[in-house]
Structure 1
Amino acid sequence: MIVAFSVSPVGAGEDVGSYVADAVRVVRESGLPNRTDAMFTSVEGEWDEVMDVVKRAVAAVEARCGRVSLVLKADIRAGVTDGLTSKVATVERYLEEGAGQA
């Protein structure tokens, strides 16, 4: 499965980068395939291991702020591995094929 999630403190003001970094650090230290962009962090693996990482990422933010917001989207598909890379590669292939089309 792939989970895209965003975790942020509530009531900590506008500058939440250090809180988000705490959550992303947990994801990166997990050893699971992951990717972070401006809006979400995506992590790929089995249900229990991915949800454990999300839970620990939330706990890392919660340790510094008593209230946390979590947005989560999951793509659950048996038998698929390397989805973080292959899904993007598929879209890029279609973009290249259509490059000359109006």
Structure 2
Amino acid sequence: MRVVRESGLPNRTDAMFTSVEGEWDEVMDVVKRAVAAVEARCGRVSLVLKADIRAGVTDGLTSKVETVERHLAQG
């Protein structure tokens, strides 16, 4: 978590996952450094990676949730 939060990239942690938003190479660098940090403290690292690559989309961490909330409010 420290590596992700100190990366400067937009991120969000919930009960199951940590989401990170940015350019592919930036995000993968953070993932690699986070895995290395965990690996340095224990002998096993489990990683689930899902990518949503959409050109021109920014602020996806909040805009996706806002879109769902807007649709729910409309009934």
TM-score range, shorter chain: over 0.9
Structure number with the higher helix fraction is: 2
Larger Rg: 1
Q: Residue 101 and residue 28 in structure 1: after superposition, are their counterparts in 2 closer, same or farther (change >3 A)?
A: closer
- Higher RCO, 1 or 2 (CA under 8 Å, sep at least 6)? 1
5+ residue gaps, structure 2: none
CA RMSD between the two structures: 1.6
| Gap regions ≥5 residues in structure 1 | 1-23
How many residues were matched structurally?
75
TM norm structure 2: 0.93
Give 4+ residue runs of structure 1 displaced > 6 Å after superposition: none
Percent identity, please.
93
- For residues 7-49 of structure 1, the C-alpha deviation after alignment (integer angstroms, 9 at most, x for no partner) is xxxxxxxxxxxxxxxxx11100000000000100000000000
Q: Which has the higher strand share?
A: 1
TM-score by length of 1: 0.69
